[in-house]
Structure 1
Amino acid sequence: MSKERNIANLPLDGGALCFHFINTVDSWRDEPRHEYLDSYATVLEWSHKVNILTTKRIADLRQYAAGHPGAAAAALEQLKQVRETLYRFFSALAEGETAALPAAELQAFNTALAAGLSRIRFTIKAATPQKGAHLQKDQYPQQSWLEEDTDLLAPLWVVMKSAYDVLTMEDPERIKTCGACGWMFLDQTKNNKRRWCNLTCGSIEKSKKYYQSRKHKEAEH
């Protein structure tokens, strides 16, 4: 019996939060796809799994979503739409086809990115020291987020900050799509030769090629 596919056993093979988010379908190349984010509740489960929201924040959002099912359904749909945008954007980058990316796709990406970054705030947790004194580590400005108990898109804003970080801090040559399932991943190997998101996909792809090779040889005889 095959193992049930759910958030708890969903692999985190992306190497970056935004890629983990993109990889919440079992494959971008096969139909029908298994959808891991099948409800707003599973979005919150995933947020807990990747540790992007506090336990209290998740509880507040869960309570609000339960009382506003229409808003939760709309948020879920928007999350999935942005996920598609992220996939098309980063897969075009991985395949060297950004020049062919439609203007509407780029605009959709930039709109989501701007919305996410606009939620960032910096706070100072400790009192400012006297002039000339050195700042202690806990006195540095700390990044935080504009938190609203009714903002059902809160997980998305953290994802978009991750997308920004990948674009501004990572080598574009290390942004790749899995040769088997289409999942996105950041190749962190020393030689930058990784082709699959994980060993399972690598084994499946090799088995397919072996089968096709055998079938081709048999057809020749």
Structure 2
Amino acid sequence: MSKSKNIVLTGTSRGIGFEMAQLLASQGHQVLALSRNEKPLSEKNIQGIHTFSFDITNASDFTRVASFITENWESVDILIHNAGALLNSPFEEISRQSFRSIYEVNVFGVAELTQTVLPFMKSGSHVVTVSSMGGVQGSSKFPGLAAYSSSKGAVITLSELLAEEYKDKGIAFNVLALGAVQTEMLEEAFPGYEVPLSAAEMASYIANFSLTGNKFYNGKVLQVAATTP
């Protein structure tokens, strides 16, 4: 088994993040699993998984993350931005508040958590952001996802910039632009829409990439979709 890593992972109450936290812990890694609803994981009482309720839009919660790392780990090897908010609505009907709330989670939250965790990262660390094929230029677009897909495009550019800014420190930043995965979030936004890829299958792929991808990639956007846009 490879050396145990300290991993910060968001969006862990269900779907891909819920599966990934358990998978990484089963491999012997230490996982700080961050989600507004920590109960699904905390009730399982899995060795290696640490949880507390974390709202990515609440400034004081970031202080709790820094305190946990300082008191328990001292350093972080991997940060995985998996939390996401999805809104399916005609563009003209999206309120200012709704548009802003999508960006609060998908862009500003990613930026602030990165700022929080970076001081604990050293050469060889890896920051992975889960984006969407909808944020990639030239990919097919779903109408109704103006706020969501544009926010997913924003974090792609953010990651590319940070890869450049931190390359001398040996910290890698990469993005996985996912195609559709069968998750609760997808079902809520597109009722009845079914895809062949499960949350557990995608969780396994992202976990493996997070552990090894920085040896091969930095500042890259990998399109993780079985279909060609």
Higher RCO by CA contacts (8 Å cutoff, separation 6 or greater) = 1
The structure carrying a bigger helix percent of its residues is 1
Larger-gyration structure (1/2): 1
Superposition TM-score tier, normalisation by shorter sequence: under 0.3
Q: TM-score, normalised by structure 2?
A: 0.26
Higher strand residue share: 2
Normalising by structure 1, what TM-score?
A: 0.27
